[in-house]
Amino acid sequence: MISRRKVINILSSLPFGGLFLGALLGTNSARSMPTTTVSPSKKALGKSIYDSIGVRPLINARGTVTVVGATRILPEVQVAMDEAVKDFVQIDELMNGVGLRLAEVTGAEWGVVSSGASAAITIATAGCVTGGDPDKIWQIPNLDGMKDEVIIPSYSRSAYDAAAKAVGVRMIEVNSPEELKAALGPRTAMIMVLASGASEDGPLSLIIISALAKPLNVPILVDAAAEGLEVPNPHIAQGADMVAYSGGKYLRGPQCAGLLIGRKDLVQASWITSAPHHGFGRGFKVGREEIMGMLTAVEMWKKRDHAEEWRMWISWANYISDRLEQVPGVKTEILLPKGRSNRSPSLQVNWDISLIPLTGQDVEELLWENNPRIAVSGAGSYLPFPPNREPNIRINPSQLMAGEEKVIAKSVYDLLSNPPKVQKPSGPAAFNLSGLWDLEIQFVASIVNQTFMLEQRGNEIFGTHHASFGPRELTGTLHGNDILIRSSYTKQGVRLNFQFTGVANNNNMNGILSLGEYGRAEWKAKRRKY
């Protein structure tokens, strides 16, 4: 475990580290900072508006993850949103005023508020493709006669490729400066880069990309969704033309808001493609209250006492750690962030599985079903893939409310000190399922036919899942007639994780399919006979 003294030493080397250190040691530099109240809402634990509709609230120990609600917005942001809805305003005029203010605060030429970081990527792509020409906007996604290629370094491929591809562009992946040179041409609309260590100092860094793109006037967009705001902006300094941020992460703004800053002409062209204007981007609507809330979050970034926030997170992590390490076989470690994204510590909890016979997945699921529900790592129906079979979980304190650290500490302590028995299928396989199987999946509004090609060795199953999008490897087990099959497709920004559970006999299988973020479905399969 990282001691408090060691944490202080490490903080001095981090971005904002001097500020953190000053706050911890009580230096004048920290006391001179503009501050804001860090204390969260005083809502009583266990009481929630969601109870009235039968939806369980949760304690968010996963961090700024969209599927569990993302960030805890600042009180000042809530006040701004409440004030904004009291009056009407012309939205273009509002965004023009906000653009001027964002330029002043961020040091960029211009800025707009989007309906999220992903939406910022989409409208930025549309802005680069159309240049703000309404005729071309109405033509999307038919890009005949327009630049229709977006170049992306291989290290930047992610699920958020979809935000750019929604415009109709073709993604061109490159791995080296030489490949980038060859890819640049008259059809290149934009280069899209995910902010990361590779973009900072890798062989295809933003600086290298910029040196090749600038002479050809090819715009560069950086996805910095999970970052805070630095002034001057480091990505623009390295050659980016536009940078996208999420409002619902460490900026602590509205969940349904994001930020696009950068070159004035490109940012304004991006805004033209978005709501309230009709055409392609009408659906990317951001309300006046979200616009003003996002602007407030940006302004508050420079006023927030980041050192105090960090001190509070560390104190909560230490509280949980001290409690859990009283359990024999449990060890904890405070993990510090690397790079600019997701700037918060997390607590990793490990245990000896011979003393505590639970996997990480077991503990995640048990905490998810706990009262109160606690989300750690990838809990509930959004478990990581492959599942966390190792004896560990991670707890992120950045979105906690004061007092929730005590609830987490007690819940995890109780679970690990008195672990329940988790019944799992065991025993030899009752059948050999090797061969070709015709698979039928009942999705919410469709029935899809796919196939399994299976190979079985004892209890273990291997093979290929031929799905609608493309083939993917599968693994699984058969104990008795209890079947488990997992398949995953994670290429070119696509992330599809399927988990099939159910029962099998020699010729038939059926059960429930967990689709991760896409919900659940029913499935059945029949052995194909030749």
Task: Report if residue 153 sits inside a domain.
Answer: yes
The mean pLDDT value for 29-53 works out to 54
Task: Report if residue 108 sits inside a domain.
Answer: yes
Q: Which of 417, 452, 467 is the last residue of a domain?
A: 417
Nearest to 210 by CA among 262, 258, 167: 262
What is the model's pLDDT at position 223?
Answer: 97
Q: What is the domain range of residue 24?
A: 4-65+305-417
Q: In what order do the strands lie in the sheet with 242-246?
A: 110-114, 258-262, 242-246, 220-223, 188-194, 149-153, 170-174
User: Could you report the per-residue pLDDT of 412-449, keeping only the tens digit for each?
Assistant: 999 999 999 988 889 999 999 999 999 999 999 999 99
Task: Report if residue 441 sits inside a domain.
Answer: yes
What is the model's pLDDT at position 227?
Answer: 95
Contact 321, 1 (CB under 8 A): yes
Q: Structurally, how many domains does the chain consist of?
A: 3
Angle at the Cα of 16 from the Cα atoms of 14 and 22, rounded to 5 degrees: 105
- Are residues 53 and 97 located together in one domain of the fold? no
Q: Which of 267, 285, 301 is the last residue of a domain?
A: 301
Q: Is the pLDDT of residue 469 over 90?
A: no
What is the model's pLDDT at position 96?
Answer: 97
User: Which pTM value belongs to this model?
Assistant: 0.87
Torsion over CA: 61, 65, 67, 70 (sign): positive
What is the model's pLDDT at position 456?
Answer: 97
User: Could you report the per-residue pLDDT of 129-165, keeping only the tens digit for each?
Assistant: 999 999 999 999 999 999 999 999 999 999 999 999 9
- Are residues 263 and 390 located together in one domain of the fold? no
> Tell me, what CATH number does 22's domain have?
3.90.1150.180
Cα separation, 142 vs 296, in Å, equals: 38
User: Could you report the per-residue pLDDT of 363-406, keeping only the tens digit for each?
Assistant: 999 999 999 999 998 644 445 556 777 899 999 999 999 999 99
- Are residues 502 and 359 located together in one domain of the fold? no
Query: First-to-last CA distance in the chain?
Result: 59
Torsion over CA: 118, 120, 121, 125 (sign): positive
Task: Report if residue 295 sits inside a domain.
Answer: yes
Lowest mean pLDDT among 231-235, 269-273, 385-389, 517-521: 385-389
Q: Is the pLDDT of residue 351 over 80?
A: yes
Per 3-state DSSP, the chain is made up of helix, strand and coil in percentages (nearest 5) of 35, 25, 40
The mean pLDDT value for 42-49 works out to 62
What is the model's pLDDT at position 217?
Answer: 97
Cα 232 to Cα 235, 501, 502, distances in angstroms = 9, 52, 55
Cα 301 to Cα 35, 62, 72, 252, 338, distances in angstroms = 10, 22, 14, 9, 20
What is the model's pLDDT at position 495?
Answer: 83
- Are residues 105 and 46 located together in one domain of the fold? no
User: Could you report the per-residue pLDDT of 266-277, keeping only the tens digit for each?
Assistant: 999 999 999 999
Q: Is the pLDDT of residue 454 over 50?
A: yes
Task: Report if residue 428 sits inside a domain.
Answer: no
> Tell me, what CATH number does 252's domain have?
3.40.640.10
Residue 23 binned pLDDT confidence (cut-offs 50, 70, 90)? very low
Task: Report if residue 424 sits inside a domain.
Answer: no
> H or E segment at 488?
strand 482-489
- Are residues 56 and 82 located together in one domain of the fold? no
- Are residues 405 and 478 located together in one domain of the fold? no
Q: Omega into 391 within 30° of 0, i.e. cis? A: no
- Are residues 347 and 369 located together in one domain of the fold? yes
Task: Report if residue 429 sits inside a domain.
Answer: no
Q: Which of 256, 271, 301 is the last residue of a domain?
A: 301
- Are residues 90 and 152 located together in one domain of the fold? yes
> Tell me, what CATH number does 521's domain have?
2.40.128.120
- Are residues 273 and 315 located together in one domain of the fold? no
Task: Report if residue 425 sits inside a domain.
Answer: no
Give one DSSP letter per residue of 74-91, joined into a string: -HHHHHHHHHHTTS---H
- Are residues 279 and 212 located together in one domain of the fold? yes
Torsion over CA: 91, 263, 192, 167 (sign): positive
Residue 15 binned pLDDT confidence (cut-offs 50, 70, 90)? very low
User: Could you report the per-residue pLDDT of 161-207, keeping only the tens digit for each?
Assistant: 999 999 999 999 999 999 999 999 999 999 999 999 999 999 999 99
- Are residues 83 and 171 located together in one domain of the fold? yes
- Are residues 313 and 185 located together in one domain of the fold? no
Q: Is the pLDDT of residue 13 over 70?
A: no
Q: What is the mean pLDDT of the chain?
A: 90
> H or E segment at 163?
helix 161-165
